[in-house]
Amino acid sequence: MREILIRVAEGIGGTVNVAADDPARHDAEEARLRILAGEDFALVAVAVSDAASKANGGLIGPIDLTFVNDTVQTALLGLVKDEISQPIRTPAGYHILQFVERTEPTPLPFDEVRDMIGNSVFSERRVKEFRSYINRLRTEAVIEWKDAQLEEIFLSYDSESDGNFTIGG
């Protein structure tokens, strides 16, 4: 897969910046028209893309579609070899994609993944036990709060989450 990204600056509070969106969409459409007119995708990517892949002519290489934005995934699945997508709006900006080649995933031999599976199972069990331990400590703890903000953080903590706290919200 190759990509061209025309980045769009976010508005206040992560909202869509309409003033920046229209010119970015126009730039993406112009880049696509250049490619459709016969210009090499890689050269257009080097010239206009804001993606890190621009140094490689927009070439990303093989990707696992499960790790791609749903909008991009849908667009890629609808493309045939060497086809150029319409500009696709994502939170990062406008993407133009070129489908290069589809390869089917090949299963790895068990001997190669044995340690990865063991580590994964161990990590899952460790996290489960840690959360259980934290919950037990929380229920047994007698705490006299002297700082309301710390109390709020403590009460908002969800041991089932990834451990991130939200302060003031």
- Which of the residue ranges 20-29, 39-48, 149-158 has the most confident prediction, judged by mean pLDDT? 39-48
pLDDT tens for 77-116 read 888 888 999 999 988 899 999 988 877 777 889 998 999 9
pLDDT classification of 45: cutoffs 50, 70, 90: very high
Q: Residue 155 has which token pair?
A: 């009460």
DSSP string, 102-153: -----PPPHHHHHHHHHHHHHHHHHHHHHHHHHHHHHHH-----S-HHHHHH
Predicted local confidence at residue 130, as pLDDT? 93
pLDDT tens for 129-161 read 998 998 898 888 888 888 888 888 877 876 556
Predicted local confidence at residue 157, as pLDDT? 72
Sheet-wide strand order for 2-7:
2-7, 93-98, 88-90
